[in-house]
Chain A
């Protein structure tokens, strides 16, 4: 009895109901626009699961989302709102590109890891600036991360344009083959879908996140600072140092995401006219996963599936792919406003309770 109650009042059920409600909102919007929602969702899922190439490409889409989701969630657990995943992602990309192009003569087992590490490290340092300014000067982390997102964008463009440019193109040279992290064996199995080792590292990061946050003393301190900075301070914890540390680790995740996109997917970096958006999508993923590492794996899979599948929805049922943003927005809305979800599932919940009593 208690177990059942626990499962059905727990956050898992709320997430599932929120996802269902989000899909229903999407269906209603499609009906209002004169489209066939059944055909649309069917085409969405057949786009993703229809053949191995598309499934591989979906996994490729999911990988950076897992990591930017961690970037948001890790900071959130320490009470920080990291809206700067975008900038950290861009800096990670750029660091990996620089190492991938400029460092010569290394074997693949040194060059590729070096580029990955550089991406993560610089992403972390970029985020640490935010943490440092918050800890030392009390500057609101939201505003500094927003500013640093823009600075990162222009800095990256400057570096690509002045040091790495492929002649006559608005993009860098290709990275050296030794820096590539393509997973050629699996890629070959999946009709050359751009699968790379980053996917594996992203999943390992979930275990790291979980272990660090819930099984170590440092993780305990971070969570204590997040729950109540005053109490943490009173208990003798250095709040400022924890803020910097949380931002640093958070930025490493986003930086890795950026590095993987270059080293595993594109093999070069473009001059960007605007932000790529992966960092912002990470916020949504973090929220859908309720800032839990394993929830985020599922959240990123959901987000990636919907995004990649939206192209199929567009071919198969003529629905503009932007509809998927409405679905994702609604899912987050229902997760945030849990009162609505509780109200929706209340009738079922009571029925179950009565059945059990009888």
Chain B
């Protein structure tokens, strides 16, 4: 196999594995920048993966053809935003411990999605295999460029959307008044309150964006990788997205880099067996690599984290 093709395919696989993480990490950033810890990303991804599978299935049944996975995406977005309200009500309105509230989301998602799947599909533990899922789209012209063409411009539509959202997210957070307000309530809620910003409303918006984006991330797993929803469809990716968010210092561009790093180390697994020099490495060590590297990088370079300063603290105006 010539290395040009291999490299192109490696970049491509990396992006496939990164897409869901990009969505979810981006979601996490919106919540945490507003000051609400979100350990529930895993749960929101599950809700999204579930909703997209069910939504796409019924759209297929209704004869919507190639539009079906888009219906699935919308279903995921809606369910993600709705379920994010559980986290928002508990942690913002009732000032519950935000970490715990996030864990609750993961518990509820694990239970509710499978309960509903069994209810809807006659006791089966997974949804039927979807036929209408996303296919890779080549961008005319650009996809002919060596390496990069194969790597970047022959991808799932969801991957393009994720990458565009990274830049939109960056712009919104750092270049718009809305982003300034969102970050203000996460850094110094009482000052933001004094300046006339409705702290709790901004936080609700942050959490809802978070739930919606993470659910879209879950949907991409169903609609590009597995074509079905089962109990192990997400299995820990939400936690990796949290790591990507922290690793990327709560910045969309940084999180994109971190997600790509995790995607790359997952993609490498497939290629490592192809070469003489690498095929004797026990696969367990290759699986371990991304997690080990994350710890090493954190210890060596990143050091103390740059979390929003009011992260995890409910806002109480009387303590101003």
User: A residues touching B (Cβ–Cβ < 8 Å)?
Assistant: 29, 33, 81, 83, 133, 137-140, 142-144, 146-148, 150-151, 154-155, 157-158, 161-162, 274-275, 280, 283-284, 287, 320, 322-330, 332-333, 335-340
Interface hits, B279-300 → A, CB 8 Å: 282, 284-285, 287-288, 291-292, 294-295, 298-299
B115 & A29 in contact (Cβ 8 Å cutoff): yes
Interface locus among B93-101, B181-189, B220-228: B93-101
B304 & A326 in contact (Cβ 8 Å cutoff): no
A329 & B108 in contact (Cβ 8 Å cutoff): yes
B284 & A157 in contact (Cβ 8 Å cutoff): yes
Known: A133-B299, A140-B246, A340-B94. A322 touches B107 (CB 8 A): no
B101 & A333 in contact (Cβ 8 Å cutoff): yes
- Between B118, B246, B284, the greatest number of chain A beta carbons within 10 A of the residue's beta carbon is seen for B284
Minimal beta-carbon separation of B263 from chain A (angstroms): 15
Mostly helix, strand, loop or mixed at chain A's interface? Answer: helix
Q: Is B70 interfacial (CB 8 A cutoff)?
A: no
For A138, give the chain B residue with the smallest CB separation. B304
Nearest 6 Cβ contacts at the A-B interface: A325-B111, A329-B107, A158-B284, A329-B108, A339-B94, A337-B94
* Residues in A whose Cβ lies below 8 Å from that of B298: 133, 137, 139-140, 143-144
Query: Which of these, B90, B110, B112, B240, contacts A333 with CB under 8 Å?
Result: B90
A322 & B288 in contact (Cβ 8 Å cutoff): no
* Residues in A whose Cβ lies below 8 Å from that of B287: 150, 154
Q: Is B103 interfacial (CB 8 A cutoff)?
A: yes
Minimal beta-carbon separation of A260 from chain B (angstroms): 24
* Residues in B whose Cβ lies below 8 Å from that of A323: 111, 115
Minimal beta-carbon separation of A342 from chain B (angstroms): 10
Q: Is B235 interfacial (CB 8 A cutoff)?
A: yes
B284 & A139 in contact (Cβ 8 Å cutoff): no
B97 & A146 in contact (Cβ 8 Å cutoff): no
* Residues in B whose Cβ lies below 8 Å from that of A133: 295, 298-299
For A133, give the chain B residue with the smallest CB separation. B299
B114 & A150 in contact (Cβ 8 Å cutoff): no
Query: Which of these, B39, B96, B119, B299, contacts A337 with CB under 8 Å?
Result: B96
Known: A154-B287, A326-B108, A338-B96. A284 touches B103 (CB 8 A): yes
Minimal beta-carbon separation of B265 from chain A (angstroms): 11
- Tally of contact residues, B, Cβ under 8 A: 51
A274 & B119 in contact (Cβ 8 Å cutoff): no
* Residues in A whose Cβ lies below 8 Å from that of B294: 143, 147
B103 & A332 in contact (Cβ 8 Å cutoff): yes
Q: Is B198 interfacial (CB 8 A cutoff)?
A: no
A275 & B299 in contact (Cβ 8 Å cutoff): no
- Between A81, A144, A147, A275, the greatest number of chain B beta carbons within 10 A of the residue's beta carbon is seen for A147
CB pairs A–B below 8 angstroms (20 shown): A133-B299, A137-B299, A138-B304, A140-B246, A143-B243, A150-B288, A158-B282, A274-B235, A283-B103, A322-B110, A322-B111, A325-B108, A326-B108, A329-B111, A332-B107, A333-B86, A336-B90, A336-B101, A338-B94, A339-B95
For A34, give the chain B residue with the smallest CB separation. B119
Interface hits, B105-125 → A, CB 8 Å: 105-108, 110-112, 114-115, 118-119, 123
Q: Is B180 interfacial (CB 8 A cutoff)?
A: no
A151 & B101 in contact (Cβ 8 Å cutoff): no
Query: Which of these, B100, B123, B303, B304, contacts A287 with CB under 8 Å?
Result: B100
* Residues in B whose Cβ lies below 8 Å from that of A339: 93-96
A336 & B119 in contact (Cβ 8 Å cutoff): no
Query: Which of these, B39, B111, B232, B299, contacts A326 with CB under 8 Å?
Result: B111
- Between B105, B285, B287, the greatest number of chain A beta carbons within 10 A of the residue's beta carbon is seen for B287
A328 & B285 in contact (Cβ 8 Å cutoff): no
* Residues in B whose Cβ lies below 8 Å from that of A162: 282
- The CA-CA distance from A162 to B246 in the complex, in Å, is 34
* Residues in B whose Cβ lies below 8 Å from that of A154: 284-285, 287-288
A320 & B123 in contact (Cβ 8 Å cutoff): yes
Minimal beta-carbon separation of B37 from chain A (angstroms): 9
Q: Is B247 interfacial (CB 8 A cutoff)?
A: yes
A158 & B236 in contact (Cβ 8 Å cutoff): no
B288 & A155 in contact (Cβ 8 Å cutoff): yes
- The CA-CA distance from A158 to B289 in the complex, in Å, is 13
Query: Which of these, B93, B107, B243, B284, contacts A146 with CB under 8 Å?
Result: B243
For B296, give the chain A residue with the smallest CB separation. A147
B94 & A322 in contact (Cβ 8 Å cutoff): no
For B246, give the chain A residue with the smallest CB separation. A143
For B97, give the chain A residue with the smallest CB separation. A336
- The CA-CA distance from A323 to B305 in the complex, in Å, is 38
Query: Which of these, B108, B292, B295, contacts A330 with CB under 8 Å?
Result: B108
- Between A81, A139, A143, the greatest number of chain B beta carbons within 10 A of the residue's beta carbon is seen for A143
- Between A133, A137, A148, A275, the greatest number of chain B beta carbons within 10 A of the residue's beta carbon is seen for A137
